[in-house]
Copies of this chain bind each other. A is one copy, B any other.
Amino acid sequence: MTTESQGTLNPLWSSVPETDRARILAAIDEAFDRQVHFLSDLVRCASLRGQEANVQQLVERALRQRGYAVSRQAIDPSLVGRHPAFSPVTVSYDRSWNVIADYEPSVTGGRSLILNAHVDVVPAGDPTRWQHPPFEPARQGEWLYGRGSGDMKAGLSAAIFALDAIRAAGLELTAPVQIHSVVEEEITGNGAAMALASGRVADAVLIPEPTDEKLVRANSGVIKFAITLHGTPAHPIDIMGGVSAVDAAIRLIEHLRRLEARWNEERASKLFFDDVENPAALTIGTITGGEWIASLPSSCRFEGRIGFYPGDDPHERVREFEAFVASAAAEDTLVRRCLAPVIEWVGVVHAGYTLAPGSEAEAVLTEAHANANAPDAAPLEAFVMAAYLDAAVYSVHGGMPSLVYGPIAEDIHAIDERVSLPSLRRVTKTIALFVASWCGVRPATDAFQEEAT
């Protein structure tokens, strides 16, 4: 419940006093084993697309236990095409929903904040290639292994335990804080889009994606496609009479490499992207073709993604992609013998964003990063992440300063994904100090009562 702000405590935008900071950092250390335990519980949920219910129930329970106002938020597919944040929907969202938690301050002073994290994870691939089964979190040295450990359940744990530490330090925040535990980041971004479209905004957004304790300066726009080729199946004795859809798909993929090169060349004129090695990063993620070992394949479908630059209209990039495919198909002696390639937009179609240098949010994070890691702190570095991030939704369509900053992780989307636990501890501390400073803190009412007794 929000009460009127009290002048004496407002604004609290300055740095948090050293003694409060020390208590917050100590509280994080004190709770860190529990945080890793909670993170392990999250990793144990194989929250692949469409299977996020288990982990969201666990998140919901954890947030309710902390006293937040918690709600489930279904994604409304009818918003696609009506709200620009949404990407195409090709599956049912009946079993996928966001969990939203609200903290409402008793005394309002500082700046409001959204802490966002996605709970969906990508498939693990062959589990036998993992050192530990991918959904059985395993601690090994300084690392916690498991699919989703880095991307980005560690970040979600950091957000929740950072808020815990502030409370445990005897402080309460003086601005509204929302936790958006969203789905669909790995494919469409429609979880974050739904949160935004439901009117949820704040003075800043922090998303603890695994960024090696750096700040994302910009990301790429991304479109995700599926292309199906229909050839002419045939018996091997009639190879000349048939058209292999697999062979045609291979040709078309090779042509798409030219589009990737062309889009990469544009980087020379793009702010922040001129030294990114492969900003387009055409990735063919899956391929499936053919029906029988000894028949020319009748069809072949491949899925992938390609990136571009902040400021680019993703729908213009879609049109450019479609025109390129049509042209390449018409010119290729094999592909043109297929039916016209069928392009489906099966994932995110979204612009990139830039975090304009010089924002207050960045300044506060920079200070928190330094204070959390003092005296050994390296200065906060910024870098470009040439991938889709939910921060783009909040930034492009909500105009919010969006900070993407999180722990060191290795092999995300790969085998043996793992997160550095010392890094997670440091990041949790940075987030806690950032939240305290951004939102403002005051001695907690219940804490006063405890001290009074």
A contact patch SS: mixed
- Given A129-B230, A239-B281, A277-B240, the answer on whether A413 and B287 have CB atoms closer than 8 Å is no
What residues of chain B lie closer than 8 Å to A237, measured between beta carbons? Answer: 281, 385-387
Whether the Cβ atoms of B224 and A293 lie closer than 8 Å is: yes
Among the listed stretches A20-28, A137-145, A303-311, A394-402, which one makes contact with chain B, having 4 or more residues with CB under 8 Å of it? A303-311
Q: Identify which of B122, B284, B288 contacts A288 (C-beta below 8 A).
A: B288
User: A294 interface residue, CB < 8 Å from B?
Assistant: yes
Q: Which of A240, A250, A253, A302 has the most CB of B within 10 A?
A: A250
Whether the Cβ atoms of B277 and A295 lie closer than 8 Å is: no
What residues of chain B lie closer than 8 Å to A242, measured between beta carbons? Answer: 414
User: A41 interface residue, CB < 8 Å from B?
Assistant: no
Q: Mark A221-250, 1 if CB is under 8 A from B, else 0.
A: 010101000101111111110101011001
What is the CA–CA distance of A294 and B188 in the complex, to the nearest angstrom? Answer: 11
- Given A250-B250, A293-B303, A294-B186, the answer on whether A232 and B285 have CB atoms closer than 8 Å is no
What residues of chain B lie closer than 8 Å to A289, measured between beta carbons? Answer: 286-288
- Closest residue of chain B to A305 (Cβ to Cβ) is B294
Whether the Cβ atoms of A415 and B233 lie closer than 8 Å is: yes
- Closest residue of chain B to A291 (Cβ to Cβ) is B123
What residues of chain B lie closer than 8 Å to A287, measured between beta carbons? Answer: 246, 287-290, 297, 300
Of the four ranges (under 10, 10 to 19, 20 to 34, 35 or more), the interface on chain A belongs to 35 or more
Tell me the minimal C-beta distance from A267 to chain B in angstroms: 15
What is the CA–CA distance of A126 and B291 in the complex, to the nearest angstrom? Answer: 9
What residues of chain B lie closer than 8 Å to A233, measured between beta carbons? Answer: 125, 413-415
Interface positions, chain A 259-289, Cβ under 8 Å from B, are: 277-278, 281, 283-289
Tell me the minimal C-beta distance from A405 to chain B in angstroms: 16
- Given A233-B125, A236-B305, A239-B278, the answer on whether A290 and B285 have CB atoms closer than 8 Å is yes
User: A115 interface residue, CB < 8 Å from B?
Assistant: no
Q: Identify which of B125, B284, B296 contacts A244 (C-beta below 8 A).
A: B284
What is the CA–CA distance of A287 and B299 in the complex, to the nearest angstrom? Answer: 11
- Closest residue of chain B to A303 (Cβ to Cβ) is B293
Q: Mark A120-133, 1 if CB is under 8 A from B, else 0.
A: 00111110010000
Show 9 residue pairs from A and B whose CB-CB distance is below 8 angstroms, ordered by the A residue.
A222-B294, A224-B293, A234-B411, A236-B283, A237-B387, A246-B286, A283-B296, A284-B290, A290-B303
Residues of A within 8 A of B (CB): 122-126, 129, 151, 186-187, 222, 224, 226, 230, 232-240, 242, 244, 246-247, 250, 253-254, 277-278, 281, 283-300, 302-305, 307, 346-347, 385-388, 411-415
